[in-house]
């Protein structure tokens, strides 16, 4: 595997305790970065921090991303531990289960929007001033092909990810002359613990839509996410990068 140049960079990964975020943390550490894992699951966070520590410098902050004060604290903790935040990867997310739009409960719908869209808004809001001070930054938002296409029985999730794509485009333009680039990726299904919150029928539906006829591997997601997190990504911002095995048509 090649080494992406992240030497000396501090990479914040929300949802880094497991799944795609964990794979991103592994590759970032193997690419010379130091890593701050932000996650709400304190026990899993500590376990992951311990496992990853053999690869490099890793800190962990227990944070509820929908809570402004919690996010502000995580920024302060991370700056105290690492001295800078060069990269922000908004990877935490939830599905909220599956059901038709009229069956899903309003509080479930709101929670999905809160975690998947308001969460990244709050982290960007808290981190961008630091990146402006540094004169450098890379932000990568993990959206979903569902945000482009709209999956049936997942309107809350699809709408949250479509919103995240919109946030990426707006923020990318706002920061275009500041050496802070903001991009999104739109993965198709990857077999992580997030599958535990979805029906088998929905998982089968997602696989049936992927021309490559297999699930995305977290390591494959990490490759693109970390290239977008590096200086090699220089003339793309507010852009959406496909990770759907051929599913997306735009
Ligand atoms: N796995 C897939 O099939 C797939 C497909 C497309 C997009 N995505 C997106 O990729 C991202 C990562 O997915 P994954 O499969 O690794 O999921 P995962 O469930 O394995 O990990 C998500 C992590 O986010 C954390 N988290 C959730 N809510 C949080 C909150 N409020 N505050 C802080 N942390 C919180 C969880 O504790 C968990 O560790 C998500 O945004 C997901 O929507 C995943």
The residue behind tokens 């759907």 is 244
* Domains in the chain, number: 1
Asked if residue 55 is part of any domain, the answer here is yes
Q: With 0-12 CB in 10 A as exposed, 13-18 as middle and 19+ as buried, what is 229?
A: buried
**DSSP readout, 168-229?**
HHHHHHHTTTTTEEEEEEEE--B-SGGGGGS-HHHHHHHHHT-TT-SPBPHHHHHHHHHHHT
Label the pairing between strands 137-142 and 34-39: unpaired
Pocket lining: 154 vs ligand 1, CB cutoff 6 Å: no
Ligand 1 atom closest to 215 (CA)? 3
Asked if residue 114 is part of any domain, the answer here is yes
Asked if residue 218 is part of any domain, the answer here is yes
Tell the residue nearest (CA) to atom 42 of ligand 1.
Answer: 93
Q: How far apart are CA 109 and CA 225, in angstroms?
A: 27
> Per-block average pLDDT, block size 10, for the chain (250 residues)?
93 98 98 98 98 98 98 98 98 98 98 99 98 98 98 98 98 98 98 96 96 98 98 98 96
Distance from Cα 177 to the centre of ligand 1, integer Å: 31
Pocket lining: 92 vs ligand 1, CB cutoff 6 Å: yes
pLDDT of amino acid 99: 98
pLDDT of amino acid 2: 84
Distance from Cα 18 to the centre of ligand 1, integer Å: 8
- What 8-state DSSP symbol labels residue 24? H
The residue behind tokens 């739109």 is 186
Ligand 1 atom closest to 41 (CA)? 37
CB atoms within 10 A of CB 201: 9
Helix, strand, coil share (%) of the chain residues, nearest 5 = 50, 15, 35
Tell the residue nearest (CA) to atom 3 of ligand 1.
Answer: 189
Residue of 48, 75, 92, 241 to test ligand 1 pocket, by largest number of atoms within 8 Å of CB? 92
pLDDT of amino acid 128: 99
Asked if residue 24 is part of any domain, the answer here is yes
Asked if residue 173 is part of any domain, the answer here is yes
pTM above 0.95, yes or no: yes
Catalytic residues: 157
Pocket lining: 192 vs ligand 1, CB cutoff 6 Å: yes
pLDDT of amino acid 6: 98
Asked if residue 164 is part of any domain, the answer here is yes
Q: How far apart are CA 155 and CA 48, in angstroms?
A: 32
Pocket lining: 123 vs ligand 1, CB cutoff 6 Å: no
pLDDT of amino acid 240: 98
Asked if residue 124 is part of any domain, the answer here is yes
Asked if residue 3 is part of any domain, the answer here is no
Ligand 1 atom closest to 161 (CA)? 43
pLDDT of amino acid 214: 98
Can you give the CATH number for the domain in which 71 is found? 3.40.50.720
Q: Which two tokens stand for residue 97?
A: 């289960």
Distance from Cα 130 to the centre of ligand 1, integer Å: 25
- The boundaries of the domain holding residue 29 are 10-243
Q: Which two tokens stand for residue 64?
A: 């509820």
Pocket lining: 17 vs ligand 1, CB cutoff 6 Å: yes
Q: Which two tokens stand for residue 71?
A: 């996010």
Pocket lining: 187 vs ligand 1, CB cutoff 6 Å: yes
Alpha carbon distance, N-terminus to C-terminus of the chain: 29
Pocket lining: 147 vs ligand 1, CB cutoff 6 Å: no
Pocket lining: 20 vs ligand 1, CB cutoff 6 Å: yes
């Amino acid at each position: 595997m090649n080494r992406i140049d992240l030497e000396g960079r501090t990479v914040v990964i929300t949802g880094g305790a497991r799944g795609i975020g964990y794979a991103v943390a592994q590759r970032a550490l193997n690419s010379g970065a130091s890593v701050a894992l932000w996650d709400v699951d304190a026990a899993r966070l500590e376990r992951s921090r311990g496992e990853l520590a053999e690869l490099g410098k890793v800190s962990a902050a227990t944070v509820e991303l929908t809570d402004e004060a919690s996010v502000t604290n995580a920024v302060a903790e991370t700056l105290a531990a690492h001295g800078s935040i060069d990269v922000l990867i908004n990877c935490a997310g939830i599905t909220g289960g599956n059901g038709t739009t009229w069956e899903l409960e309003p509080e479930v719908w709101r929670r999905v929007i809160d975690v998947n869209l308001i969460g990244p808004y709050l982290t960007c809001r808290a981190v961008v001033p630091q990146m402006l001070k540094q004169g450098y930054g890379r932000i990568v938002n993990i959206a979903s092909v569902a945000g482009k296409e709209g999956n049936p029985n997942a309107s809350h999730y699809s709408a949250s990810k479509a919103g995240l794509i919109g946030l990426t485009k707006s923020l990318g333009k706002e920061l275009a002359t500041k050496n802070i680039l903001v991009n999104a990726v739109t993965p198709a299904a990857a077999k992580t613990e997030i599958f535990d919150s979805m029906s088998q029928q929905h998982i089968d539906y997602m696989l049936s839509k992927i021309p490559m006829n297999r699930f995305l591997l977290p390591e494959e997601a990490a490759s693109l996410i970390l290239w977008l997190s590096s200086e090699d990504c220089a003339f793309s911002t507010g852009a959406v990068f496909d990770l759907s095995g051929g599913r997306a048509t735009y």
